[in-house]
Amino acid sequence: MRHFHDNTIRPETTFSVIGQQSGFNYLLSADMAPWYKKEESVELSMHPDLSFNEIINLERETDRSSYTFNSNLSWGLNEKVRLALNLFYNKNDPPREFLINAE
């Protein structure tokens, strides 16, 4: 479980299986991770004569989940030949809210 500063709690999961049977080796893993970040910043821009041009207040909020699946499979066909299959899948669900206030 992951606890965020706004007092929400979201599940975080990791699952792995590793094994070997005869000439077959395998590793399977899956991961789901929530992620939250909030940024506030102020940008000041100036003219070459050092007078202020504008002030921009930025608020960035990112609330996303990341899903990952990884697989490594290998078969030892004989002492000199090995067949390997590696798979990777990653998906990010990144809704984002972006606010700009120019003064």
Residue 4 has pLDDT above 80, yes or no: no
Plot region of 10 (φ>0 → left; ψ -120 to 50 → alpha; else → beta): beta
| Residue whose structure tokens are 């041009």 | 53
Q: What is the pLDDT of residues 33-47, one digit of tens each?
A: 887 777 888 888 889
**Cα–Cα distances in Å, from 51 out to 29, 41, 42, 54, 103?**
57, 20, 17, 10, 14
Beta bridge partners of 71: 28, 87
Residue 98 has pLDDT above 60, yes or no: no
Say if residues 26 and 72 touch (Cβ distance below 8 Å): yes
